[in-house]
Structure 1
Amino acid sequence: MTLNFHNIIRSCLVISALLSVTSSNVHASFDLSLKSIDDSEHKLSEYIGQGKWVVLNIWGTRCPPCREEMPELVSFHDEHNNDDAIVVAVAIDFPSYGYANQDDVIAFAEEYLIDFPVLLSDSRITERAGLGRLQGLPTTYLFNPSGEVVGVQVGMITKNILETFINQLKLKSLQLK
């Protein structure tokens, strides 16, 4: 019983932290090109602001919390990608925070059965995108369908937290209409 209570409190705290970030706090630009693990070039603007919720996850192959949270992101994407939300991952090297090693990222993506876009960069990606300095790994940004940043989580995130937060924002949006 205590464990469930602690999980509920933790989820509420994380959701509160996510809710504290609004689109007015961040002025982002997503026209920068990044290489994907299949060597093609992609812009974040291909995903963000295209009518779906976007979970942008910054992670590293050797980051223990990143490895632990990846199945949650895969599950979230698998359940929502045909509906209203997608996951986009940007891999950076850990612990150097330099440019990600493509072979390591490909092996990781195969091991974890990642079926969402995986792009390669370094820790300056968040600054170049106008999202501020990267505070740690993993870091997850949540964008609404219009492309506004509506949440940021430094540290692990779960499918349940993402779904709860998105549902709360949808309800809030309906109440404002």
Structure 2
Amino acid sequence: MSLCTPFSKVVLRWLLLLLILPLPGYAADFSLEDTQGKTHRLADYRGKWVLINFWATWCPPCVTEIPELSSLHNAHKDNDLVVIGIAMDSGSSKKVVDFAKARGISYPVVMGNQEIAAQIGEMEVLPTSYLYAPNGEQVSYQPGEVTRESIEAYIKSKKFN
């Protein structure tokens, strides 16, 4: 009798995933270096909402979302919310930096990879956004586009200390 039955393989995969994937709730204190060389850590933004947005230059819905995210960031960055974009483009950062400048991206942009994605959480499609409350709790995961209006409405409906 073999110990590696199809059922045991499935159970083993789920157990491994449980050990690897972060639990919902409070995030690990990620550390991300943007294209300007500045480090962004979740702990640095305690007291503010943090929206992490995975995107790519070649992704049409991501490009559509950029003006919404820039508007959101500009309206709130000095008070209660910051946006950090994680570009999942392969190749040189110069392409992403030039793209960001041409599109008027006003929020910090990080060059993404699987290691960075693992710090934040699951990502199956682009764009994907994670929203962290001022206390560091991950409160929203949104595959697909988000709008300034939807993020502001969500934040307004929540009370976090």
Name the TM-score, length of structure 2 as normaliser: 0.77
Closer, same or farther: CA 133–41 of 1 in aligned 2, 3 Å: same
1:144 is aligned to 2:151: no
Q: Find 2:64's aligned residue among 61, 68, 92.
A: 68
The residue aligned with 2:85 is 89
Once residues 83 and 105 of structure 1 are traced to their aligned partners in structure 2, the CA distance between those partners, rounded to angstroms, is 27
The alignment covers a number of residue pairs equal to: 140
Structure 1 contact 54–143 (Cα < 8 Å) conserved: yes
Structure 1 contact 92–100 (Cα < 8 Å) conserved: no
Once residues 123 and 69 of structure 1 are traced to their aligned partners in structure 2, the CA distance between those partners, rounded to angstroms, is 22
Once residues 78 and 107 of structure 2 are traced to their aligned partners in structure 1, the CA distance between those partners, rounded to angstroms, is 12
The residue aligned with 2:106 is 115
Deviation digits for residues 37-57 of structure 1 (CA, Å, limit 9, x no counterpart): 12x151433544x21001111
Give structure 2 stretches of 5+ with no counterpart: 1-21
Once residues 92 and 121 of structure 2 are traced to their aligned partners in structure 1, the CA distance between those partners, rounded to angstroms, is 23
Larger radius of gyration: 2
% same residue? 34
Give structure 1 stretches of 5+ with no counterpart: 1-22, 94-98
Name the TM-score, length of structure 1 as normaliser: 0.70
Query: Which one-letter code corresponds to 1:77 in the other structure?
Result: H
Deviation digits for residues 117-159 of structure 1 (CA, Å, limit 9, x no counterpart): 11112144222x1x43311111100000111100010000000
